[in-house]
Amino acid sequence: MREKDLRKLKRVELLDMLIEQGRLVDAQAEEIDKLKAQCEELNKKLEDRKVDLENTGSIAEASLKIAKVFMAAENAAKIYLENLREKSASQVPVDEAFDSAMKELR
């Protein structure tokens, strides 16, 4: 509205306009408060996601380290079994040794 038009309005009409503007300001203030609360909530969720992503990286690294440990243990077990097979092939089988020991006792 132009200033000339405002001058023509009665006091009651001007007061009504002020009251309406006050209501609009209050509504906008409430909307701003809601948006601020929503923004804080979203920021908190974002921080939680960042922590989750950091932990995911740590978990992935730990998984790789554990996998390496298991691979080393598996290789050690294979070597151990091969050594046992070699030793047992070079020795007299247990059954034969037992049978010969029993014959000597009789």
pLDDT digits (tens, 9 = 90+) for 36-53: 999 999 999 999 888 877
- 63: phi then psi, degrees, rounded to nearest 5: -60, -40
State residue 62's pLDDT score.
79
Per run of 10 residues, the mean pLDDT along the chain (length 106 residues) is 82 90 95 95 90 75 85 87 78 63 62
What is the C-alpha to C-alpha distance for residues 61 and 59, in angstroms, rounded to an integer?
Answer: 5
Say what the pTM is. Answer: 0.45
Q: What is the pLDDT of residues 73-82, one digit of tens each?
A: 888 888 888 8
Q: Which value, to the nearest 10 degrees, does the dihedral of the CA atoms of residues 17, 22, 24, 27 take?
A: -160
